[in-house]
Amino acid sequence: MNKPNALFWVIAVIALLWNIMGLSAFTVDTFFSEMLQSSYTAAQITAVENAPIWSKIAYGTATITGFLAAVFLLMKKKLAVNLFLISLLASVVHGIYISIVMGAPELFGTFQGIIFPVIIIVLDLFFYLYSKKCAAKGWIK
């Protein structure tokens, strides 16, 4: 049986921590949005409130499947690969909505509107490709 190296565990824990942060952000954005409104402008509140349901579904799907993928990676289960792929695709959909359709760069600034969505997609891509590599090496089954 192939045993994963120490780097596997480091990356798996980082993936879990990253996705816990994403899941926390989704939970706050979804269920405690009133708390955030005090720091938003009227235009930002309107944009967030008028986001289409498919964008919210993509956001939820990205964060929930990313979290589950990280848990399955830590459990050395191959299901992590498919879950990371779903998370990646949902992140791309949500990132496109935020950055292009919603116009977040103008509403929230360059970092929140462009840079952070790109960071999310790049990390999701890394975790997906890394989990595929782990499956190919037989570290996850």
Instruction: Please name which of 106, 118, 138 lies closest in space to residue 8, comparing C-alpha atoms.
Output: 138
- CA gap 23, 62 in Å, rounded: 9
CB 74 within 8 A of CB 93: no
Q: What is the mean pLDDT of the chain?
A: 92
Which class for 92: exposed (0-12), middle (13-18), buried (19 or more C-beta within 10 A)?
A: middle
Q: With bands split at pLDDT 50, 70 and 90, how would you rate the model's confidence at 1?
A: low
pLDDT digits (tens, 9 = 90+) for 26-57: 998 888 767 777 778 888 888 888 889 999 99
User: Rounded distance, CA 80 to CA 1, Å?
Assistant: 19
Task: Say how far apart CA 85 and CA 65 lie, in whole Å.
Answer: 9
> Two tokens at 8?
């596997």
Condensed to tens digits (0 to 9), the pLDDT of residues 68-115 reads: 999 999 999 999 999 999 999 999 999 999 988 888 888 888 888 889
- Residue spans per domain, the chain: 6-136
pTM of the model: 0.90
